Structure 1
Amino acid sequence: MKTLIIVVVLVAVAVVSWAFAKRNAPPSNPIDTTSFYELSITGIDGNPLAMSDFKGKYVLCVNVASKCGFTPQYEALEKLYEEHKDQLVIVGFPCNQFLNQEPGTNEEIVSFCQKNYGVTFPLTEKIDVKGSDQHPIYQWLTNKDLNGVESNKVKWNFHKFLISPEGQWLASFGSSTDPLDEAIVSLIK
């Protein structure tokens, strides 16, 4: 009987230890980065765009699309950028994951943005902001284990993430939040 109790206790300890180890295991595909400023992407012009180039400024990351109900936000994004460019960089990340609302090529996207909204802030190559091919920048933006603050899901085009001048995750704003909303502007003043 003592032997049976000892075996049961040992099995229970082993099961609890295994469950605890599994729960606290690192993500299966972790990004080896601790700072937003260690990340980079290809710009829409094909040249590297390092987030470290923006050290000392706020960075507003926005997944953008040309055929979306929120596309007119490009105008407010450009105005925000122009008014605060000494302390803020806006980076637009074209994405075609939401009802194929960004079907254009890089050249078509640039032309559309400049012609219709006078966009001068940086744009990147087209990327995935969710799913198995999610770009590492969006992995960092949406995963608390990587950004250290909060997990978020990008639910639609024009979701906004604000990063501090020190490269820390500050806030997330849904698609319907106007770029000139006081909730955003007050954080960058």
Structure 2
Amino acid sequence: MAEALRRTVLALPLMASAAAAAEPDAWSFRFPALEGGEHDLAAWRGRVLLVVNTASFCGFTPQYAALQRLHERYRERGLVVFGVPSNDFNQEAASAAQVREFCDAQFGIDFPLAAISRVRGADAHPFFRWAAVRAGGEPRWNFHKYLVARDGQRVRGFATRVAPDNIEMTRAIEAALAAPGA
């Protein structure tokens, strides 16, 4: 019996490290793409990721312009802006084609966009459930932002009212870009 207990105690660190290794990171998720196919977040491993739930017909929709500017300003340094259209707040277009047409015509968006997805509640996309646990909760409105560090583990949430070009946001992005990768 003592030998069995000793083996169990010795195995605990191995079991803990295996559990930690099984813990998902941001790179563990995939989203259907707006135009078909999918976005595998693992393709952006080692970059800084800004995931934003978006909507076409919201008072905060002008944030699309600032998101596009962030994308243009920081992409060469490793930032990926990723938009996730959602109708959770009843302010998104009815189809992927309408979302794409709106984003192109109004804002010239060329950062990647997911298909229309749920971002709140039990039916939320798994990434949003994962991020909500790590970054202060689920989106309370459109244009909630999750900034994911290069390691894919550290996540910081920004409420809707924090505009993408707000000094708090740009300082956080610059700090994440300056930090070493995983």
Richer in helix (by share):
2
Equivalent residue for 2:54, pick from 39, 64, 70: 64
Aligned partner of 1:89 in structure 2 is 80
Deviation (angstroms), 1:62: 0.4
Aligned partner of 1:176 in structure 2 is 161
Structure 2 residue matching 1:85: 3-state secondary structure: helix
Distance 2:23 2:99 in 1: 30
Aligned partner of 1:167 in structure 2 is 152
Aligned partner of 1:115 in structure 2 is 105
Residue-pair matches, total:
152
Ranges in structure 2 where 5+ consecutive residues have no aligned partner: 1-21, 175-182
CA RMSD of aligned residues (A): 1.3
Deviation (angstroms), 1:46: 1.1
Deviation (angstroms), 1:181: 1.1
Work out whether residues 70 and 164 of structure 2, in 8 Å CA contact, stay in contact via their aligned partners in 1: yes
TM-score by length of 2: 0.80
Distance 1:85 1:96 in 2: 27
Deviation (angstroms), 1:170: 2.9
Runs of 4+ residues over 3 Å off in structure 1: none
Work out whether residues 128 and 134 of structure 1, in 8 Å CA contact, stay in contact via their aligned partners in 2: yes
Equivalent residue for 1:155, pick from 137, 140, 155: 140
Letter in 1 for 2:124: Q
- CA-to-aligned-CA distance 1:70-91 (integer Å, 9 cap, x gap): 0000000000100001210011
Aligned partner of 1:143 in structure 2 is 133
Larger radius of gyration: 1
Letter in 2 for 1:173: F
Work out whether residues 141 and 169 of structure 1, in 8 Å CA contact, stay in contact via their aligned partners in 2: no
Equivalent residue for 2:30, pick from 29, 36, 40: 40
Percent identical among aligned pairs is: 33
